[in-house]
Amino acid sequence: MGEKPQPVKVLYCGVCSLPPEYCEFGPNFEKCKRWLVINAPQLYPDLLKEANDKDVEKVGERLQSDGITSAGGAEGGATSTAPAGDNPPVG
């Protein structure tokens, strides 16, 4: 007697309930993108690259808004955003 065939496990999108290969044809692809990057990055490598590029941009913007330069603070020392009265004097 042959082996009993095992059922196939199919991954379904947590947003639109379609198999991830079909999310781009569904009505909510923009909403599915985040789920796809986390749960099925091998299916949409371009989405993963796009998400990484956006993360790099966000980090760059945050560093610029905090006053940190790409030179590592060599242009005049580190900047502090803490108020002067919060730290007691040492000594």
pLDDT tens for 40-91 read: 888 888 887 777 777 666 666 666 676 655 555 555 555 555 555 556 666 5
* Domain residue ranges in the chain: 10-67
Question: Which is more confidently placed, 16 or 69?
Answer: 16
Please list, in sequence order, all residues whose beta carbon lies within 8 angstroms of the beta carbon of residue 20, skipping any fewer than 6 positions away.
11, 12, 13, 32, 36, 39, 40, 43, 44
Which of 16-25, 26-35, 79-88 shows the lowest mean pLDDT across its residues? 79-88
**pLDDT score recorded for residue 14:** 93
For 50, the token pair is 């796009």
**pLDDT score recorded for residue 90:** 64
Cβ contact 20:34 at 8 Å: no
**pLDDT score recorded for residue 82:** 53
